[in-house]
Amino acid sequence: MTRVRPRRPSRRAARRGVVVSAAGALALATALVWQSAYAGFTDTTAAVPLPTVTTGTVALSDDAGGTLFTVSGLKRGDSGTRCISVTSTGTVPAGIRMYATGRSDTNGLASALRLTVRIGTGGGYADCAGFRSNASVYDGTLAAFPTDRWADGLGTWTTSGDPAGEQRTYEITYSLPVNTQGTVQSGSATVTFVWEAQSR
């Protein structure tokens, strides 16, 4: 009996089998990746809009109706007192300080002229009726009064940030001492008082 020897697949068939096997493996791998990606769950919350953001304000005013002092013919021993009210309507807490600008003098009058400043409530521009002092702000000469910047300013008032308004009254008194030297004769002095608010 003649044996029939099994036929070996041709090289082309073998190569085709490898290709088919590789394709099957690729298909399986692709299916696994797809299943893995599909198995992840996601969710999101409802969109929340950003709220409106605004800054606070610092606002300061006074009740001055003109020059606080206009004095001529000043003599030794003379003095005078005026008041001025300062109001804050800012919405943020702030520190209020007082200083001077534009100071000038002749014959040394600024070094001789004394100033006393007190802070309190009641009274108003020029008229100090009803003024009640809470604290002393300054007692010294006009020449030594702090000038030009808030950092060196005077005062003990810190606002709470009430837009309805917070008010303080400043009582300013000048005097020329009786022992003032005669060298100030015909002298002059001028200054501008400034109140400045800076938020904390």
Biggest CA–CA distance in the chain, Å, is 157
Q: Provide the pLDDT for residue 29.
A: 44
Q: Is the Cα dihedral 54, 56, 58, 63 positive or negative?
A: positive
Nearest to 62 by CA among 200, 196, 199, 198: 196
Domain residues of the chain, as ranges? Answer: 60-67+74-180+187-199
pTM over 0.85: no
Q: What's the distance, CA 38 to chain centroid?
A: 54
Topology given in CATH for the domain delimited by 60-67+74-180+187-199: Jelly Rolls (2.60.120)
Q: Provide the pLDDT for residue 40.
A: 59
pLDDT digits (tens, 9 = 90+) for 81-103: 999 999 999 999 999 999 999 99
**Per-residue tokens: 17:** 């089998």
Whole-number Å distance between alpha carbons of 191 and 101: 6
